[in-house]
């Protein structure tokens, strides 16, 4: 007798709505991105939006304030201290970025050569970058102290080159250059180690071929090293400009904007007006005024360096 099987025995149950939902690729992508998006919204988007809103109000600490439109920005337009902070920020960013890249690239080229205890030397180079900013600022404040400066001690008491101790932070330009030196010291390791990682990816055979063709050291650097490092240079340059332009801890710990508000950066002036000065609206307006500069710096470095077609062997636009 032939056994008969009911057709219903092989009928697959239809998927439930929950199964169909988790089979949907856009839904899975959204679920995976939700934790990151939630963190960005809570810790980045909301504070940024609140800061922009406060820039258009006359809020103070403890008082919500009212909407005043562009009044804060108009008052900043006629504020000489604000424009001095803009000038200081641009000067500070430009000089330190150029110095950090020149010294960082030089140090990376040195570390790229074979040398004894190379790993130990690289670890030592990273020390200025991994030390907490405030701690390194205190160390630099001691170095710049008009009474206990080790530099002044050596120049005056040991070498007898000067008659009195140097007041590094007591005059405007001396304080500005002192901040530049401290920032360069702190920023060189990040650039040097990053560029060193890029140098490690360049095939040695390219240098060997160029050497056989009679290329000089400068020609090898210009024709091989720089083009192949340019993608990394563009990223590092962008990050360096952003970090330097928004620098706060080092400057505030060393000078707090002094003497006489002559070393204020936009970040330190925004903090001073918003927190000690209780003018949240005005401080937020100064912070918002930094956004166009940061966007412009990012676009210049990205499109000027990161999108050049000659990196892929093609002609420039």
The domains located in the chain, with CATH, are 80-312 (1.10.3720.10)
Q: What is the pLDDT of residues 131-170, one digit of tens each?
A: 888 888 889 999 998 888 888 888 888 888 888 888 899 8
* Residue 153, both tokens: 């001690």
**Residues 188, 297: Cα–Cα separation, whole Å:** 20
User: Hey, how many other C-beta atoms are within 10 angstroms of the C-beta on 141?
Assistant: 18
What does the pLDDT read at residue 93?
A: 94
- The pTM assigned to this predicted structure is 0.83
DSSP state of 168: T
Residues of the chain falling short of pLDDT 50: 1, 310-313, 317
**Could you report the per-residue pLDDT of 98-143, keeping only the tens digit for each?**
999 999 999 998 888 877 777 777 778 888 888 888 888 889 999 9
Query: Which pLDDT does position 299 carry in this prediction?
Result: 82
Residue 286 and residue 103 in contact, taking contact as beta carbons nearer than 8 Å: no
Distances, alpha carbon 204 to alpha carbons 113, 117, 225, 307, 311, in Å: 12, 21, 11, 25, 18
The long-range contacts involving 287-290, CB below 8 angstroms and separated by at least 24 positions, are 287/51, 287/55, 288/51, 288/52, 288/55, 289/73, 289/76, 289/82, 289/86, 290/89, 290/245, 290/246, 290/266
**What was the pLDDT predicted at 1?**
47
């Amino acid at each position: 007798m032939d056994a008969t099987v009911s057709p219903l025995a092989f009928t697959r149950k239809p998927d439930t709505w929950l199964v169909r939902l988790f089979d949907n690729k856009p839904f899975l992508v959204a679920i995976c991105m939700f934790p990151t998006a939630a963190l960005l919204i809570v810790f980045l988007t909301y504070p940024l939006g609140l800061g922009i809103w406060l820039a258009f109000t006359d809020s103070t600490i403890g008082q919500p304030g009212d909407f005043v439109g562009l009044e804060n920005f108009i008052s900043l337009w006629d504020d000489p201290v604000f424009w001095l902070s803009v000038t200081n920020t641009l000067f500070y960013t430009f000089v330190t970025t150029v110095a950090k890249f020149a010294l960082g690239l030089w140090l990376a080229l040195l570390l790229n050569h074979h040398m004894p205890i190379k790993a130990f030397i690289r670890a030592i180079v990273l020390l200025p970058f991994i030390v907490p900013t405030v701690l390194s600022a205190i160390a630099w404040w001691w170095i710049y102290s008009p009474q206990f400066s080790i530099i002044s001690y050596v120049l005056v008491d040991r070498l007898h080159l000067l008659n009195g101790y140097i007041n590094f932070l007591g005059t405007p330009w001396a304080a500005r250059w002192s901040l530049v030196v401290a920032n360069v010291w702190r920023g060189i390791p990040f650039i040097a180690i990053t560029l060193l990682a890029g140098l490690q990816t360049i095939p040695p055979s390219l240098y060997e071929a160029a050497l056989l063709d009679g290329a000089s050291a400068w020609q090898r650097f210009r024709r091989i090293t720089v083009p192949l490092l340019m993608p990394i240079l563009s990223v590092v340059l962008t990050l360096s400009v952003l970090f330097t332009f928004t620098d706060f801890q080092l400057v505030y710990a060393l000078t707090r904007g002094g003497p006489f508000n002559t070393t204020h950066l936009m970040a330190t002036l925004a903090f001073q007006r918003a927190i000690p000065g209780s003018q949240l609206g005005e401080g937020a307006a100064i912070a918002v005024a930094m956004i166009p500069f940061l966007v412009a710096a990012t676009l210049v470095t990205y499109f000027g360096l990161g999108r050049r077609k000659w990196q892929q062997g093609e002609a420039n636009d």
